[in-house]
Each structure stands twice: as C-alpha cells, then as structure tokens.
Amino acid sequence: MNENPYRTTVLAWYERNARDLPWRTESATPWSILVSEIMLQQTPVVRVLPAWEAWMRRWPTAADLAAEPSGEAVRMWNRLGYPRRALNLHACATAIVERHGGNVPETHAELLALPGVGVYTSAAVASFAFGQRHAILDTNVRRVLARLETGIEYPPKAPAKAEFALAESLLPEEPAVAARWGVAVMELGALVCTARSPACGSCPVIADCAWVLAGKPPHDGPPRRGQTYAGTDRQVRGKLLAVLREAPGPVDKSALDVVWEDSVQRERALDALISDGLVDPLDSGEYALPG
C-alpha cells in the first residue's frame, strides 16, 4: 500500500553517505538526542556541533541540567540564537525530572507536552531515540517531497495537510525501517537536495524526481520570505542579552543602555526579555540572567 519505488535506493544511499553526527551514535541517549533536536531548530549542524559537545559534557543528563539555574543554560547557549530555546531546554529538564522520573518520555503526546517541543521535534525524538514509526516533516523532507513527488522547487510556507498525508503514505510499515527512512530523507535534503543549488547530478533518485522530469521549473508564486534583521527588536534583544551572557554577574543598567541608541526600542526589548524570563531585574536595580 505504501510501496514507493525509491525507498530502497534512498536507504542504501543513506548507508553510504550519512554524516557521522555524534547524536546518531550508539552512545547517544534520548536526552542527548532531545538536546540536539532543540539546538537544531533553525540552526545549522556545523554551528550546533561544538555547542552540543560542550553542553553534553557539562550536563550529561536531564537531572544535571535541572539542578542548575536557568540562567546558566542561557549563558551556556552562547550565540546559538533564539535563546528562549535554552530556557525551553531547562524547562524540559525540570519537567522530565518532576514528571517522568528523570527519563525522557517515549510517547509522542508526552513529548509534545514538553516546552519548546512541537510536532516535528516530538516525532523526531520518538523516531530517532525510541525507534518508533512517525512521519518526519522538517524543512529538508518538505523540500525533497515537493520536488520528488509534487514537482515544484519549494514547498509552501506552512506545511499543508496534504504534505502530512504524503509523508504518512511513504512511511515504511516496520518501525525500525520507518525511523531509518526519516533520517535518510532528511539527510538527502541536507546534502543533495539542498535549497540553493541542488546537486541533482549526484542524486540517487533523480530518475524518480517529478521536478527534474518537468524541467526544473523555477519557484512560481509569492517570493520566499525575507526576514530582515538589522534594526529589529530581535537585534536589540541579542545585544542586550550578549552583555549579560558575557558578564560574570549582575550588571548595572548603564551597561545595557550603551548597546542601542534608540531608548524607546531599547526599553521595549529589555521589557520583552524580562517578560520572556530571559532577564531578571534585581531589587538592587541591576540586571542578571535568571536564577
């Protein structure tokens, strides 16, 4: 019923070409895999690699991280970006200790209930850490399926129902094989079927590719999102948080005021950081990473 013609080919390609990433090794744990998935949310593998190594060395288990103040997680996060993920990871650790006896939960629903864990991450951990059968629909898989099956260069901005149905229909029955299939397609998207300049010449399933067959028609429709950064609140938040990360302890307000000219925007960004729990305004008038 879900016998796709290129499954074996993709799996064989993965066997030969998969990168040996540390969170894919035998010594990886459900917790270390969860950490990798959170870090990899919108952050390239090359930048996650050293951060993950350092993080796992310092906090090998969820309990180790839960025992620390959340601010230490934010500091350790360094410049990975989207620092709320550091807070999420710390909250995950706490929830795992309090609700699951220190072990990462195994069901998709329990994983989904963890902070910062959405549909993708939940499926990824259930699949990669516990060998379960779940459709993996990340940006790589979406792009591969858009080309291979739908014949378009890029998938729509937001995942559509049809995409889940398609991913579901291609999923091998055997859980262990399904888990393998998931990483394999992701890897194909990451290494060959890339966004910019796909290496169709070295693609193992080029003969099955609807997009190639159609003559590689360029993206048709609204231009792909261009997220500006310079001058935004996000840039200001980044500068403010960097000051706190690099300081050994609490800092005076004056140390924060120098990072951005526009005081209105600066105060708005600081308030937002405090509201998000990334910054702690002390009674002394100083500011610090959360305790």
Partner DNA sequence: CATCCGTGGCG
Partner DNA sequence: TCGCCAAGGAT
As measured in angstroms, the least distance from the Cβ of 232 to DNA is: 5
Measured between alpha carbons, how far is 169 from 290 in angstroms, rounded to an integer?
A: 45
37 is catalytic: yes
We find the least distance from the C-beta atom of residue 216 to DNA, in angstroms, to be 15
**Closest to 233 in 3D by CA, of 286, 278, 183:** 278
Asked if 27 is part of the footprint of DNA (rule: CB under 7 A), the reply reads: no
131-170 binders of DNA (CB under 7 A)? 138-140, 143, 154, 157-158
The DSSP code sequence of the chain is ----TTHHHHHHHHHHH----GGGSTT--HHHHHHHHHHTTTS-HHHHHHHHHHHHHH--SHHHHHTS-HHHHHHHHTTSS-THHHHHHHHHHHHHHHHHTTS---SHHHHHTSTT--HHHHHHHHHHTT--------HHHHHHHIIIII--SS--SS--HHHHHHHHHH--SSHHHHHHHHHHHHHHHHHTS-SSS--GGG-TTGGG-HHHHTT-PPP-SSPPP----TTSHHHHHHHHHHHHHHSSS-B-HHHHHTT-S-HHHHHHHHHHHHHHTS-EE-TTS-EES--
229 near DNA, rule: CB under 7 A:
yes
Catalytic entry in 3, 15, 37, 53: 37
Listed ranges 9-17, 101-109, 169-177, 229-237: which one lies at the site for DNA (CB under 7 A): 229-237
171: its two tokens: 């999923």
Among 10, 52, 56, 83, binds DNA (CB under 7 A): 83
- Please identify which residue in 117, 146, 171, 203 interacts with DNA, judged by CB under 7 A: 117
CB of residue 182 vs DNA: minimum separation in angstroms? 10
Q: Tell me: does residue 223 bind DNA (CB under 7 A).
A: yes
- Beta bridge pairs of residue 287: 251, 281
Binding part of the chain for DNA, among 116-124, 174-182, 203-211, 283-291 by CB under 7 A, reads 116-124
- Name the segment binding DNA (CB under 7 A); options: 5-13, 78-86, 100-108, 200-208: 78-86
13, 14, 23, 130: which one binds DNA (CB under 7 A): 23
Hey, which residues between 192 and 221 contact DNA (CB under 7 A)?
A: 194-197
Q: How many positions of this chain bind DNA (CB under 7 A)?
A: 60
Minimum Å distance from CB 134 to DNA? Answer: 12
Q: Given the rule CB under 7 A, which residues bind DNA?
A: 21, 23-24, 36-37, 40-45, 47, 79-84, 115-122, 124, 138-140, 143, 154, 157-158, 183, 186-187, 189-190, 194-197, 223-229, 232-235, 237-239, 241-242, 272
By annotation, the residues acting in catalysis are 37
